Amino acid sequence: MTAIKSLRSNAVKANRQGIVEHLYFSTVPIGPEPLQAELKGSNRSTRIYNSYICKIDNDRYIARIKNTFSSQAPLKGIIGEALNTLVANKLGFKSHNLEMLTFNLLSLQATAYFKKILDKQPLDQVLNDYKDIDITPVITSVLTEFAALSMLGLYHGDMNSSNVFCSFDGNTIKDIEVIDFELAMPSTCDNQLCFVYMCASIYDWRINTLISETEIKTIIKEVLRSTFASIKPESEKAISLFISNRPLSKKLRQLRMSTINPEGKSLISYL
């Protein structure tokens, strides 16, 4: 009960109008906690507490609501993220659970999404902060996890190193979890290709100064060989194209989308 009350009071604070019309669900006991940090975007913010995270979206989302239950249009915003997270959980994607979602039904404003804080660190922080860490085996472990994820039929859509959380046993990765499913979508393409796209997308400005292009390509190929036995020619081609041409041109982004999700379907049909 205290948990619900405290979540409700946080949600009320999250809501500009002070009324939460709809309380979705809550599974964990979360007590009142002081705010530790707040990451602010234009219409978005992420509030970090000791044991949970609250993402708040102040956009009006009337258009999003209309789209929400369509399997044709990709889901957007925090409601979309919440539904995509449920799908990711259902498919067995290694991710956090959605704990609660609130929104103001009348104003269609101020969505708040609650999740438990992870007992892990984001990959970009690990690689940048721990200078003595051996990066190659860490990246190999992360990409091996991506290879497993690519077989689940879900394309993450925003696979960057701040969305991949890891825990360590000494210098070895113990566990990996992925967050932030707002841009997730069904993948109908070949698993190898889906894997290569996720690898290419993680190789962004946050980590491309720490690991060379040649090295990441070598790791991608090693993981492809160990997971899929052989490397398809289309995968080789995609590695060259998507790793060497960063940032990606509009044409390459369109090419990726037309192979991953040609009909622009949402994940709702997986629920």
Distance (Å, rounded) from C-alpha 239 to C-alpha 231?
11
Asked whether 186 and 83 are in contact (CB, 8 A), the reply is no
Binding to ligand ADP (CB under 6 A): which residues in 177-196?
179-180
Asked whether 127 and 79 are in contact (CB, 8 A), the reply is no
Binding to ligand ADP (CB under 6 A): which residues in 120-179?
122, 162-163, 179
For residue 28, state whether it binds ligand ADP (rule: CB under 6 A). Answer: no
Q: Which of 102, 163, 191, 259 binds Mg ion (CB under 5 A)?
A: 163
Binding to Mg ion (CB under 5 A): which residues in 200-239?
none
Of residues 6 and 181, the one with the C-beta less far from Mg ion: 181
Give the count of beta carbons closer than 10 Å to the beta carbon of residue 146. 25
Give the count of beta carbons closer than 10 Å to the beta carbon of residue 90. 13
Which one of the spans 116-124, 140-148, 213-221, 243-251 is the region binding ligand ADP (CB under 6 A)? 116-124
Q: Please state the closest distance from residue 161 (CB atom) to Mg ion, in A.
A: 10
Nearest one of 39, 171, 51, 46 to 119, comparing CA atoms? 51
Asked whether 56 and 42 are in contact (CB, 8 A), the reply is no
Task: For residue 14, give both structure tokens.
Answer: 């999250």
Q: Please state the closest distance from residue 130 (CB atom) to Mg ion, in A.
A: 21
For residue 101, state whether it binds ligand ADP (rule: CB under 6 A). Answer: no
Binding to Mg ion (CB under 5 A): which residues in 84-103?
none
Q: Please state the closest distance from residue 121 (CB atom) to Mg ion, in A.
A: 14
Task: For residue 253, give both structure tokens.
Answer: 């982004």
Q: Which of 47, 64, 76, 96 binds ligand ADP (CB under 6 A)?
A: 96
Distance (Å, rounded) from C-alpha 147 to C-alpha 187?
13
Contact of residue 118 among ligand ADP, Mg ion, none (CB under 5-8 Å per partner type): ligand ADP
Give the count of beta carbons closer than 10 Å to the beta carbon of residue 195. 25
Task: For residue 87, give both structure tokens.
Answer: 């799908």
Contact of residue 6 among ligand ADP, Mg ion, none (CB under 5-8 Å per partner type): none
Residues interacting with ligand ADP, by CB under 6 A? 39, 46, 53, 55, 96, 115, 117-118, 122, 162-163, 179-180
